[in-house]
Structure 1
Amino acid sequence: MSTVAHPSSTGFERDARLIHGDKPVAPGSIAMGVIIGRMSEFFDFFVYGLGSVLVFPKLIFPFAPSPLAAIMMSFAIFPLAFLARPVGSFVFMWIDRNFGRGTKLTVAIVVLGGSTASIAFLPGYESIGYWSVALLALFRLGQGFALGGAWDGLASLLSLNAPPNRRGWYAMIPQLGAPFGFALASILFGYFVSNLSEADFLDWGWRYPFFVAFAINVVALFARLRIVASPEFGAAMEAQELQARPVFEMLSVHGRDVVLGAFAPLASFAMFHLVTIFPLSWITLHGGQTTSEFLRVQVIGAAVGLVGIVLSGLLADRIGRRSQLMVGAVIIALFSFSAPFLLEAGSTGQDAFIIIGFGILGLSFGQASGVVSSRFGQYYRYTGAALTSDLAWLVGAAFAPLVALGLASNFGIIFIGGYLISGAICTLVALGVTRALDQNR
């Protein structure tokens, strides 16, 4: 099996070593670097997601015939980032192999933060017409393309250091970044929505969370470069456990595992945007409570989701990560029967939908990445886990807000329950197939 030469160091990594020295990095520091990195990525995407409901329908799509049509148009641009993400992974894997992990991360994070911050300067349709739609789509593609390069291997480094009886606990650590990122985005938007008039919010207030994204990405970049420059990471690279492999070479060996891995967390990823972005669009269109009140509830929901993710680590170490994800899929399927009625039950029901939904999401999402990467050997784990994660988000989450709002608006809110059940079925089937394949080995 051939190996690809990998630069042992880059200017960025050498600078990080000069700053931090060659002192060993404690596991806690690795975990913190992982969480900060993931939080910055999710913050970028959640800021955009909230903006796709609260800002873009009025700023970019005022020509739509109805508020529903405006949000649907906004949601049509939402999946572009997920479509661009696998392309970004392909390109940045090449950069990784030829110029080093530090260069790859620096370029990816600058493009990610720059794409998000550029949205803050976006003129509305009233100023430049359809060019505002084109620029929004371009910046959204930039977000996804860059996120494909933000895969740093730190989660795999954690996994490599995990004791056999604590793999579920270590697998859930990277997932903690999601509720932190969502809570921060909701707090920022909630502050401006609560303290500004609608005119001021749509004129300039909404732009500040997008500015903040660039600063957060800079902090996250230094936190990650510190780990990438550490002796532990270097040793793993030398052992060829965290090196980037050519994508097509990996697919020739693990193509089936990539497909199964993309469908295994589908229930969790389908529910992801159904408790974050979709319900905000629903209450914006149909009421029940004010936007600022609902954003506060979503922050509480994120805290509950954080607890659920931690519990998933404890439970997975008892029953296994695959069994934990199967249990989560079953719970999501059961929740799907009550979810539509909660959203239609006024503010109390909507609050229950968010808080319960986030708790269930945390229990399932906490082990999603661990299951995605578990079928790859160390040689292909870095590349395989990155591409599988890209495809899992594309299949499970990219079109969720658009599909859910379209189904609920045209056929009734009950149909979002069917959407969740379909995701749960896909997860159970994929996990069942992987279990059968493992038993036949």
Structure 2
Amino acid sequence: MTTQPLSATEAERDALALHTREHRIAPGEIAIGVVIGRTSEFFDFFVYAIASVLVFPKLIFPYVDPLTGTIYSFAIFALAFIVRPVGTMIFMEVDRRYGRGTKLTIALFLLGGSTAAIAFLPGYETIGHAAVMLLALFRMGQGVALGGSWDGLASLLALNAPERHRGWYAMVPQLGAPLGLIVASLLFAFFVSILPAEDFLDWGWRYPFFVSFAINVVALFARLRIVVTPEYARRYESLSLAPAPVMETVRAEWRTIALGAFAPLATFAMFHMVTVFPLSWVFLFTPDSPSRFLVLEAIAAALGTAAIVASGHIADRVGRRRLLGACAAAIAAFSGFAPQLLDGGPVGEAVFMLVGFVLLGLSFGQSSGALSSRLSPRHRYTGSALTSDLAWLFGAGFAPIAALLLSTSFGLPSSGLYLLSGAACTLAVLWLNREVVGAIE
């Protein structure tokens, strides 16, 4: 099937008005679009993650104890990662038939709409088990939309990056994660601190979900501003950014996709071990205020943002392979004493979060698209999307529930095993496969 021209939706026409004259897209313009887009996605992600600990166990699962309710909530949390590859398959076909702008418009409205719909969700006491089914449905809507929101802007940024500064440009898309976490954490901390518990559970928690829809509209225009430009269209038509059929891509690139999914596993396992899981442990098993820990999380995320920026400089000096390998080894060592820090009171929690986010930032900053250069130009766009989906699924999707089950069954130190397994996978891929090593220098 030949690539169709980008369709002219209302949003695209508005964005296209900004680009009436031919010009080359500057890397800075792409970077802004990438950061805004990723921040909106991760804001949605963390708003749901925080509510999975503070709200849903009581609102949706009041008929079980708090621990069991949190485990059920984390099971629904994982649904988005399971269906995300399905979203990629569906929206790749939309992309091929109707264009990138149509795909992004539908995907981001689905993402914002699914997140906003959760804000109107009645509790179990109102509609019974239908509340559970609706929450699962909306969560899967988020996952499908995230699969469809892959826009190729990170790839375009890499294509426009100077060769000597690839590490620097590789870290730019990753800035969206800590920025989204900072906004989500502070927003929830504000409502938790100013509202009585009854009011927060009744209506206060819903406001961050409303905000997400507005943020997604802003992100949509920021991304369309890039994808409607003449240069993006040329990249699209030349197959540099064109979607290939999913099954064709899997048949042709399955080995690179599989290795690319496992190479950053240490990073993705670490991601939830310092964001979602510690909040659940502190909330369930310590007397600490959730608002205090959310503020601590925002401060740690700010430090993680600085570490992501630093990873760009370090990678350009020593190479992405060495940095990823060193970070995986450090994460493996961290897994041995991190749980004890989390169980060490306010000081231990602070050390756990600050050290954890520094390690996360250094590794996460260079984890995106580590093997994308090995994909053929025809399959690079679709293959990169599938690789990202699988990395999140295997590395992060089940991390909160796995860590919580291990901790409550065998003691908190056992939660480090999940983190250690991710580090071991990353080190194994980097050590055993010379082709991978060469691809991410």
For the criterion TM > 0.5, the same-fold answer is yes
The AA in structure 2 aligned to 1:51 is A
Q: Deviations over 1:47-89 (max 9, x none)?
A: 000000000000000001x211111111111100001100000
How far residue 20 of structure 1 moved from its aligned partner, in angstroms, is 3.8
Q: Give the percent of matched residue pairs that are identical in Structure 1 and Structure 2.
A: 59
TM-score by length of 2: 0.97
Q: Which runs of 5+ in 2 are unaligned?
A: none
Q: CA RMSD in A?
A: 1.4
Aligned match of 1:200: 199
- Are 1:407 and 1:415, in contact at CA under 8 Å, matched by a contact in 2? yes
- The SS at the match of 1:371 is coil
How far residue 288 of structure 1 moved from its aligned partner, in angstroms, is 4.8
- The SS at the match of 1:241 is coil
The AA in structure 2 aligned to 1:328 is C
Aligned match of 2:5: 8
Aligned match of 2:245: 246
Aligned match of 1:41: 41
How far residue 435 of structure 1 moved from its aligned partner, in angstroms, is 2.1
Structural mapping, 1:20-99, within 5 Å: 20-24=19-23, 25-64=25-64, 66-99=65-98
Aligned match of 1:323: 322
Aligned match of 2:386: 387
TM-score by length of 1: 0.97
- The SS at the match of 2:374 is coil
Structural mapping, 1:114-153, within 5 Å: 114-153=113-152
Tell me the distance in 1 between the aligned counterparts of 2:415 and 2:264. Answer: 18
Tell me the distance in 1 between the aligned counterparts of 2:13 and 2:68. Answer: 51
Aligned match of 1:297: 296
Question: What is the aligned residue count?
Answer: 436
Tell me the distance in 1 between the aligned counterparts of 2:164 and 2:29. Answer: 21
How far residue 23 of structure 1 moved from its aligned partner, in angstroms, is 5.0
- The list of structure 1 runs, each at least 4 consecutive aligned residues, that deviate by more than 3 angstroms after superposition, is 436-440
Tell me the distance in 2 between the aligned counterparts of 1:321 and 1:379. Answer: 25
Aligned match of 2:283: 284
Tell me the distance in 2 between the aligned counterparts of 1:297 and 1:267. Answer: 23
Tell me the distance in 1 between the aligned counterparts of 2:63 and 2:189. Answer: 26
Q: Which runs of 5+ in 1 are unaligned?
A: none
How far residue 191 of structure 1 moved from its aligned partner, in angstroms, is 0.5
- Are 1:261 and 1:371, in contact at CA under 8 Å, matched by a contact in 2? yes
- The SS at the match of 1:397 is helix
Aligned match of 2:422: 423
Tell me the distance in 1 between the aligned counterparts of 2:192 and 2:159. Answer: 44
Tell me the distance in 1 between the aligned counterparts of 2:305 and 2:333. Answer: 21
- Are 2:27 and 2:161, in contact at CA under 8 Å, matched by a contact in 1? no
Q: Does 1:184 align with 2:188?
A: no
Aligned match of 2:254: 255
Aligned match of 1:265: 264
- Are 1:265 and 1:372, in contact at CA under 8 Å, matched by a contact in 2? no
Aligned match of 1:432: 431
- Are 1:304 and 1:358, in contact at CA under 8 Å, matched by a contact in 2? yes
Q: Using a 3 Å threshold, how does the CA distance of structure 1 residues 370 and 311 change in structure 2: closer, same or farther?
A: farther
Tell me the distance in 2 between the aligned counterparts of 1:227 and 1:392. Answer: 26
The AA in structure 2 aligned to 1:285 is L
Tell me the distance in 1 between the aligned counterparts of 2:313 and 2:376. Answer: 24
